[in-house]
Amino acid sequence: MSSATTVITGGASGLGLVTARHLVEAGQSIILVGRDAARLQTAADHLRTLAPAGDDAPVLRTYTADLGQHSQVRDLALRLAADAVSVDVLINNAGAAFPRYEQTVDGVERTYAINHHAPFLLTHALLSEGALAPEARVINLSTFVEKRGRLDATNPDIAGTSWNSRFYHQINVYATSKLLSLLATRELARRLPEGMSIYNANPGMVKGTSINSNAGGLMRLTAPLFRPFAITPDEGVQTPVWLATTSPAPKPSGGFFSQSQPDTPSPLAQDDALARIVYDKTAALLGLDPTA
């Protein structure tokens, strides 16, 4: 997919920007999405210096959106569709963790809004607007930490608001948001139109990115302990880059991938009945008609 158009959320820095660099060097056109227009422009200008020259040189564009707000995620999809963008690859890279409980303007917990709701909503909104190419690939950045996720398998809290009345453990909140995304992806893979694929990409334990420092709290305090065992950002993006570029499209759709090969997530993440419940509850929360 060397001539593909790839949308990368959280693309102004960190793993998103490193992923963009690898894909630009491979000849893909890139759309960076983020909250800060100035940082996005700086990132795009840097990537242009790395892009192959010639008539078929990759196109680099930027779109601003706060993915913590459902309305802005919907608006992003509408803008991409209005600009006649045909998305070959969507990399839902943006992620976050927070040291304390707070709700967004939509009344949901912040970590869940960015790590679970945003990729789910953006994928469905682009699909609804006809902005995903017939053989589009959707890649959600996941994590091995999902094994620490905590869910009621019969009535999962997909809004994250239950953390307001129990101990707010930052790492467990982050892990649970990623577990929810894994489950929803598993079910969406079954419902996507023929030819499209969706994946969960585990970058591993990566050093030199801003998620731990920006998260604050326990994640920031413990990050130095794991640094000797962490890999570089260039190593961390190998799996999403491989999923975005290798031909034919990897199997299985809906799978969890580490080190550019299928991997096995937690037993809870493989529960098909729970995946259907999470998918349906998330679609209802976001006001979406579930994909058949």
Residue 112 falls in the annotated catalytic set: no
| Pairing mode of beta strands 256-258, 261-263 | antiparallel
CA distance 68 to 181: 15
Give the dihedral sign, CA 140/159/192/148.
positive
CB 9 within 8 A of CB 31: no
CA distance 59 to 112: 32
197-202, strands of its sheet edge to edge:
60-64, 29-34, 5-9, 87-92, 132-141, 197-202, 256-258, 261-263
CA distance 8 to 92: 6
State the catalytic residue, choosing from 63, 174, 199, 279: 174
Catalytic residues: 174
